[in-house]
Amino acid sequence: MPSDPLLQAERLSRRSEEGARLLEEVSLELSGGNRLVVEGPTGAGKSVLLRALALLDPLEGGRILWRGEPVADGAVPEFRSRVAYLHQNPALAEGTVEENLRAPFALRVHRGRRYDRGRAVELLAELGRDPSFLGKSRDDLSGGERQVSALVRVLALEPEVLLLDEPTASLDPETTARAEELVGHWVAEGAGARAYVWVSHDREQAGRVAGRRLRMEAGRLKPAGEAGG
C-alpha cells in the first residue's frame, strides 16, 4: 500500500523579473522510497523547481506541504534539515574538507547531533576516496572533488529527502557509478522513509537511477516514461 507523501508541491507558479514563465502550475508528490528523475532541456525550469521544493525561492502561487502540512515560516530551518538541496556547483567554505563536513553540526537546527568522523570516512570510501581526503584544502579541490565533498556532507546530516541538481556532472564515470550506488543504497536503507528528486541531462543515467521519470519543458511537468523500481 502506498505510503503517505513526504513532500508535496501544489500548483507551483513563478515568473522571472522579465515576466518569463519559470514554473507553471507544477504539482508533484514524493513518498518514502520514491526515486524521481526530472529531465528536460537547459532553461526548462528544473533547477527552479528544486529550489522551490527546498523553499529557497519565493513563489507567486502554490504551496509546499511536508507530511501533509504547510511549512510555517518558523519551521523552514527544520524543514531544510529534512529536505536537503544539493547544487550542481556546491559552495564550500575556506578550510579543509573535514572542516566543511563538520561545520553544519554547529547550526542550531542540528543541536544534539555530533559530527561522526567514522561515518564520513565510510561515505568517502563508498566514493573511492581514502581518509586523507578529509585533509584536503577547499582551494585544492577539483570540481568533481567538490561534488564528492558536498554529497558526503549532505548524507552525513541524514536528511529524509534529497533534491539533487546534476550531482555527478563533474565526476568521472567510475565515481559517478559509485555515487549512483551510494544514493540508491541510502534510499533503500531508509526502509521507506527516504526519497529523492534527481535532475539529470544524461538519459542513460536517468534510466539507472529513476523509479519514475518526469520531463520539464517551459516550466511544466509531464510524464517521461516509467523505469523499474
pLDDT of 201 reads 86
Whole-number pLDDT of residue 228? 38
The residues facing 75 across adjacent strands are none
Candidates 3.40.50.300, 3.30.365.10, 3.40.50.850, 3.40.50.800; correct CATH number of 5-91+159-226? 3.40.50.300
Give, for all 229 residues of the chain, the pLDDT tens digit: 456 899 999 999 999 888 888 999 999 999 999 999 999 988 889 999 999 999 999 899 999 999 999 999 899 999 999 999 999 999 999 999 999 999 999 999 888 889 999 999 999 999 999 999 999 999 999 999 999 999 999 999 999 999 999 999 999 999 999 999 999 999 999 888 999 999 998 899 999 999 999 999 999 998 875 443 3
Backbone angles phi, psi at 212, to 5 degrees: -140, 145
Q: What is the β-pairing status of strands 21-31 and 35-39?
A: unpaired
Amino acid 193: pLDDT? 93
Q: Hey, which residues does 101 pair with through a beta bridge?
A: none
Alpha helices in the chain (DSSP H): 46-53, 76-82, 97-102, 117-126, 143-156, 173-189, 203-209
Alpha carbon separation from 145 to 50, 92, 141, 169 (Å, rounded)? 22, 11, 5, 11
| pLDDT at res. 226 | 43
Residue type, 125: A
pTM of the predicted model as reported, rounded to 2 decimal places:
0.93
